[in-house]
C-alpha cells in the first residue's frame, strides 16, 4: 500500500533532550512537509523540502531541524531550544510537477514533554 | 500571500440534520481550494478540491462545496450528517500561478449528536 508512515505515534521527552520524529513515504513524491498542530491554531508549517538535499524553513522553524538525504525520508528533530514542543506533529508529501499543491498526510506523532 | 478564515470554530449538529462549514479566503492571485477532514488523533484526509471548471465540487462521504469567486468563499456542505462525521475540518488554499505552500484555516470542529 502506498502512503506515509510516522513513528512513533506517541513520544515522551524530558526537558532538555533532543528527539527525532520519523517520516517515510512510498508515494514517489518529491516534496515533503512538517507541520505542528496545536488546539485552535490549525496547522503551522515548520519545514518543507521540494527535492533531496534541499529544504526551507516554514513559518515556525526555530528550535527544529530536518534533513533530506533520501527522497523517501524527511526526519524532524525537535531540539532543546524549542521552548514549547508539546504538540501533534504531522508529516505530509506532495507533487512538485503540478501547480496545485495537494498534500497527503501521515497519521501524526503526539509529542509530550515531561 | 494567501490567508484563510474559517468562520466557525465549532459547529454542533444533530444526526441527520444538514451542516454547512464556512470558509473565506484572501489572495492577490487565483487559488486552488481544498477541504480536509481530521478524525481524532489521526492525520488529515482530503475531502474534495476545486481546481477549475464547475464551481460545485463533490467529494467523499457525501460532502460538497461551492466555490464563489466574487465572495471569495468555499463553503462545505452535507445534507444529512452521521455520528461518524464528528471530526475537525480544515479549509486550505494554494496559488495557481506558481507552486506554493498550502495555507490552512484554523479548523472547524463538528460535533454530531443523536
Mean pLDDT of chain B: 93
Q: Hey, is the C-beta of B90 within 8 angstroms of any chain A C-beta?
A: yes
Rounded CA separation A63/A34 (Å): 13
Of the partner residues B9, B46, B107, the one whose CB lies closest to the CB of residue A102: B46
How far A42 CA sits from the closest chain B CA (Å)?
4
Q: Best residue in A97, A102, A104 to probe B by mutation, most B CBs within 10 Å?
A: A102
Rounded CA separation B67/B83 (Å): 27
Question: For A12-47, how does the pLDDT look when each residue is reduced to its tens digit (9 = 90+)?
Answer: 999 889 999 999 999 999 999 999 999 878 899 999
**pLDDT at residue A9 greater than cutoff 80:** yes
B42: which chain A residues are within 8 Å (Cβ-Cβ)?
107-108
Rounded CA separation B105/B103 (Å): 7
Which pLDDT value is given to residue B2? Answer: 85
Contact check, Cβ <8 Å, A102/B49:
yes
**pLDDT at residue A2 greater than cutoff 90:** no
Region of B45 please: left (phi>0), alpha (psi -120 to 50) or beta: beta
Amino acid at each position: 500500500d502506498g502512503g506515509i508512515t510516522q513513528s512513533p505515534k506517541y513520544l515522551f521527552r524530558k526537558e532538555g533532550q533532543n528527539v527525532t520524529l520519523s517520516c517515510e513515504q512510498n508515494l514517489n513524491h518529491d516534496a515533503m512537509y512538517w507541520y505542528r498542530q496545536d488546539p485552535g491554531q490549525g496547522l503551522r508549517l515548520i519545514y518543507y523540502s521540494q527535492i533531496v538535499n534541499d529544504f526551507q524553513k516554514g513559518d515556525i522553524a526555530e528550535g527544529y531541524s530536518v534533513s533530506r538525504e533520501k527522497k523517501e525520508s524527511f526526519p524532524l528533530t525537535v531540539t532543546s531550544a524549542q521552548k514549547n514542543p508539546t504538540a501533534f506533529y504531522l508529516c505530509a508529501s506532495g507533487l512538485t510537477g503540478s501547480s496545485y499543491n495537494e498534500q497527503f498526510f501521515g497519521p501524526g506523532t503526539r509529542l509530550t514533554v515531561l | 500571500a494567501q490567508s484563510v478564515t474559517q468562520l466557525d470554530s465549532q459547529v454542533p449538529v444533530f444526526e441527520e440534520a444538514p451542516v454547512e462549514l464556512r470558509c473565506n479566503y484572501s489572495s492577490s492571485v487565483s487559488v486552488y481550494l481544498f477541504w480536509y477532514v481530521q478524525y481524532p488523533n489521526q492525520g488529515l484526509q482530503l475531502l474534495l478540491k476545486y481546481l477549475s471548471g464547475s464551481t460545485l465540487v463533490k467529494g467523499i462521504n457525501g460532502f460538497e462545496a461551492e466555490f464563489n469567486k466574487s465572495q471569495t468563499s468555499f463553503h462545505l456542505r452535507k445534507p444529512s450528517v452521521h455520528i461518524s462525521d464528528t471530526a475537525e475540518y480544515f479549509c486550505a488554499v494554494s496559488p495557481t500561478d506558481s507552486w506554493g505552500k498550502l495555507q490552512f484555516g484554523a479548523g472547524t470542529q463538528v460535533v454530531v449528536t443523536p
